[in-house]
Each structure stands twice: as structure tokens, then as C-alpha cells.
Chains A and B, each alone.
Chain A
């Protein structure tokens, strides 16, 4: 059932009438959630909540300051939208030039964002239970999915991996949605791949999961690819990251290699796909992980 999609994401474009535009936003709230992550809530005079789908991203024009002068826009997953039509939220790790510049943006300040961009998670409201496997900033990308599951009465199991309990951001991830949470940490060794594999297989065997989603860890992605190969009936999706420039499929900066299955002649059909356009969400089974470039 897990049909491999390597064709351009037609569904995204056809199903979403919204055009890509630059939206002028006002900063409504901007605060640290822990030592490294910040929460940003913006408001635009546009129905962002209505036009933005689960898994999509925007390109942010981070402010230029004396210390930080980002030139390119910064792709960022949508952490949430609503309840007001014009409200959009981001949760980000303050790590480079762009995010350090962004972190300086004051409440009441303004910023341009371009979007919505990219495809969406494949989610069926008829699912009984989904599993989300998150690490780091990956939880921001999957938070809208958790909310959608909650809204549709779909049960959620969350496997959350972090350096230490202080980094987990459990409440930030679930945002009130009830979930069965399994937390693993680097600090006590519980996040080791072999230990997670045991846990994963147990969850899959004991819970009637229809779909597994992940974001934020290449190691966990590769583990899921290996484990899910034994369960072809379960949908497996990953939201990928890559260095981008245009964010719209134009510049071809953000390509990654994907294994799109067998061609008619029996040869593997390997294709470079644009993370910004055919993605950021891809079937876990198609990811080629042997070689890591940037």
C-alpha cells in the first residue's frame, strides 16, 4: 500500500489553490522555550491557517542586524497555525547566522515570510494509531501532525529522543494532545540505536499502527527504514532537510538521491529529487542513506 511517490508532488499543487506569496507579518510572541530553542508567533493579514498544510514550510526573511547579516531566506517548518486565521508559529533551534538574527527580532517587529511551500504528510483521519519518532527540531515539523491526529481522534504514540531530559520539549511537541510517550536520552544511553530498535519493534508488534512519521535524526531514519522494511503495510514518512536557496524548486540546490523502486527493466530507478518541491516529506523506504553529503 505504501506506493512510492517519486513523481513531482502533483497533489500538493492541485489540491492547494493557494499561490506562493510573500506575507508581511507582525511578531506577536517570541520567547525562549529552553536554552537553545525559541518559539515565534507571527500574524499576517492573510488566511495562513487555512492555506497551510501539515508538513509544509515557509522561507523566512531573517532580520539583518549589525552582527548577523543573513542573505538568503531560511526554510522553516511550520510549528502551528491558528486559532486566528492569520496566525502562524515556528519553533527553532538558535544555531547559525539566520536563526541568531531571527532570535533578535523583537515583539512588535515585522518580518516577511514566503510560502506555503513543499508537500504534506500523508495522513488519513481514518487511522487508528500513528507513531511519531522525533528528535531535536524535528518535533516542530511533526507538531501539526500530532495536532491533526488529536483533532481526528487518532491515537498517538510518540518516541522522543533527546540529549537529556532538559532538552526533550515533550509539552511543546504534544501541545495538549494525549499520547503514549516513550522518551529516550543520550545522557543515560537509552537513545542507543540497538535499544531503540527493540522498543520500536515492540511498539509495532503490539500496537495497530497505520503510519510512522519521523523527523530530526538521520540515525533514527535509517533505523526506521530497516525496521519498516519488515512491515510493508505501514506507511512510513520522513520530513527531510537540505540546504536551500529558492525553496520553490527552481534553483536545484536542495536535491537528494532517492530510490524510487524498480523500473520496467528491473533496474533501480534512482533519482535526484528536490527536498523543497517533491518533499520535504518522502516515503522512508525511498531514502538513500549510505552516503551523506552536506
Chain B
């Protein structure tokens, strides 16, 4: 047995996300990754490359300051600046496709129809999957994000499904009241996977100037501060749907990634942690490798959903507790 662990090639880090096979489960979270990271990382060693959301309409983005630090995390209100799809296809996408790593294009749009048309337009041979960022505001529903409710999620994802043969990942928001129901709606509408989750809506104020710390007043909280929330939601989604769940929210170490896999994630996205260390994704991959070697795990994907739950625990506890006065 011993030599098996000495040969790193023997550990299989590959994971499946629907029909896609990724060399390992680690990929960037949309918005926290751009081609500039090739200066700090070997992009051929990541599981997938997820590009920052592009919207069909040109947008300037939100006012500055767009970022504020919080305890154990950060708030951002970047606002998805975009130069449109034509510019995206001509200038943004090509450098990502030069790597031997699946490219995931993230789409943001204002209406279900706009979503569908944009997804059709990026259903290119060099694109491995489309992530529908339905966490962004839906202009048909008073700016409420599509993924806030099962009905709007279903509408957006089914409109997209009709327009593309590409794998579609639905990026859900932790701001929804019932993420399991939203995940189920995405599955029923034909999504190939759900990405759980995104930033948690938050706010911060400078008490000296009495101004909000973000130009946009409110913004998305990310980083270790939200990890337990995201982990819980991944687990809820895992229990609710049969399609793969991609975990996202505060992952900064291999241990974090393993936690998400045990909770039910097939793969993970790393966002804010890259801002603290642009090389962190490689360190997470190396950490997963080391964990598998130490624990004697031949196939990392076996960990998905492998959290050990004791379903009789509550019953036993209640019987035990009855002994008390």
C-alpha cells in the first residue's frame, strides 16, 4: 500500500460536473478571476476557467468606492461593467481558450429573453459550459434577482435551455429565502448544475464621514465571513437536487474545499481568497492532493456528499434526555 501514496499520479482528483470531466474540482468564481492571473498561476492546472460575467448590454458599472473591507471579508459593488458580447467574443474570450482547461462563460442579463439570446450567442465550440448568473437583478421583477424565487429561476433557466445545447450552470444567490426550492426549479428547468452561491447582500458605514463605505450603498459580502452560510446552502441544495452542486462562498484553503465537497459539492469555486493570494487556487489543489494521499483516498470525487450524518442521533438524544427531570 505504501508506494501507492508515494506516487502522486495515483490520486485521482478528477470530478464530474454533468457530462464535463474536470481535472480537479478547483475553479475561480466569476468576477474574481481574469486573464491577468496567468501571471501568478498556471491556468493549465485549474479545473476550469470561469470568466467574469458579461452582459449583452454595455454598462459602466457602479460608482466608486466599489470595495470595502469588513470583518473576515469584503463588500463589493462592482456592478458588472461590460462592453457587450461582440467585444467579449473578439477581445475577452480568446486568451482563455488558449489553455487546455474548460472555459466557462458567465452571462448576466436583464430579462429571461435577453439571457436566452446571450447564452445562444456564446454557445461556441471553445466554450465548455455557460454559467447563468441569475443572481443579478431582474428588470422585469423590479430589480429583484431571478434566483430570489423558484418561479423566476424557472423562467430564466427554461428560456436559456431552449436556446442552447451547452451545459448550463445556474448561479444561485444566498439572499433567497429557500435555496433548495430555487435549486429544484433550476433543475426542473433543465440546468446541468447549480452553483451555490454568491455574495450576501450587505452594507457598511463610515461613522466619521457618515457615508456608506460603498458608492452603491449596498453590496455583496464575500470571504471567510460567509463560508458557513454557503456551506449550509450547498448541503441543502445537495439534498434537494440530483444535478451536481458547485460550492462557492469563502473558500480559501483545501480544508474549506473539502468541507464543501463533504457537504455535497462536486466542485468548488474560489473567489475573494485570490485577492489575498493570487496563487491560492494552486495551493488548494496541492492541499487536496496531499489530503487524499494522507487519507488514502483514490478518487477525490468520492467525497461529494460524504459528510457522516447520524440520522438516529436526534431520536437517541431525545430518549437520553428523557432521563432528566
Contacts and interface: CB of A to CB of B under 8 A. Distances in A.
Contacts of A21: 40, 279
Contact of B74 (A71, A97, A250, A255): A71
Interface centre among A61, A112, A252 (most CB of B within 10 A): A252
B64 A71 contact: no
B190 interface: no
Chain A binding surface SS class: loop
A20 B61 contact: no
A71 B71 contact: yes
A231 interface: no
B67 interface: yes
Interface in B131-155: none
22 contacts: A13-B39, A21-B279, A71-B73, A72-B67, A72-B69, A73-B276, A112-B277, A114-B277, A247-B275, A248-B37, A250-B34, A250-B275, A251-B32, A253-B64, A253-B65, A253-B78, A255-B61, A255-B64, A272-B61, A293-B64, A293-B65, A294-B215
Given A19-B40, A71-B73, A255-B61, A248 B278 contact: yes
A266 B67 CA distance: 35
Interface stretch (A30-38, A165-173, A207-215, A238-246): A238-246
B36 A252 contact: no
Contacts of A72: 67, 69, 74, 275-276
Given A69-B71, A293-B215, A250 B37 contact: yes
In the A-B complex, the 3 residue pairs with the smallest Cβ-Cβ separation, listed nearest first, are A294-B65, A253-B67, A250-B34
A71 B67 CA distance: 12
Chain B binding surface SS class: loop
Contacts of B33: 250
Nearest to B276: A73
A252 B78 contact: yes
A272 B83 CA distance: 11
Given A22-B277, A69-B71, A253-B78, A248 B64 contact: no
Q: Give the interface residue-count category, chain A.
A: 20 to 34
Contacts of B39: 13, 19-20, 248
A122 interface: no
B81 interface: yes
Contacts of A251: 31-32, 67, 76, 78, 275
A246 B64 contact: no
B67 A243 contact: yes
Contact of B275 (A112, A245, A272): A245
Interface string A1-40: 0000000000001000001111000000000000000000
B278 A114 contact: yes
B178 interface: no
Contacts of A279: none
Interface of B: 31-34, 36-37, 39-40, 52, 60-61, 63-74, 76, 78, 81, 215, 223, 274-279
A255 B68 CA distance: 14
A249 interface: yes
Interface of A: 13, 19-22, 61, 69-73, 97, 112, 114, 242-256, 272, 277, 293-294
Nearest to B72: A71
Contacts of B215: 293-294
A277 B36 contact: yes
A245 B70 contact: no
B61 A252 contact: yes
Nearest to B272: A245
A71 B37 contact: no
Contacts of B73: 71
Contacts of B69: 70-72, 97
B30 to A, nearest CB: 11
Contacts of B34: 248-250
A97 B68 CA distance: 12
A250 B65 CA distance: 16
A253 B66 contact: yes
Given A250-B33, A250-B34, A251-B78, A22 B72 contact: no
A289 B261 CA distance: 49
A70 B276 CA distance: 11
A248 B61 CA distance: 18
Contacts of A249: 34, 36
B275 A73 contact: yes
Given A13-B39, A251-B32, A254-B66, 12 more contacts: A19-B40, A20-B40, A70-B69, A72-B67, A242-B64, A246-B274, A250-B274, A251-B67, A251-B78, A272-B81, A277-B36, A293-B63
A72 B66 CA distance: 14
A246 B74 CA distance: 11
Contacts of B72: 69, 71
A22 B281 CA distance: 13
A212 to B, nearest CB: 26
Interface centre among A20, A61, A254 (most CB of B within 10 A): A20
A293 B77 CA distance: 14
A243 to B, nearest CB: 5
Contacts of A243: 64-68
B40 A248 contact: yes
A252 B278 contact: no
A114 to B, nearest CB: 6
Given A20-B278, A73-B275, A246-B275, A252 B66 contact: yes
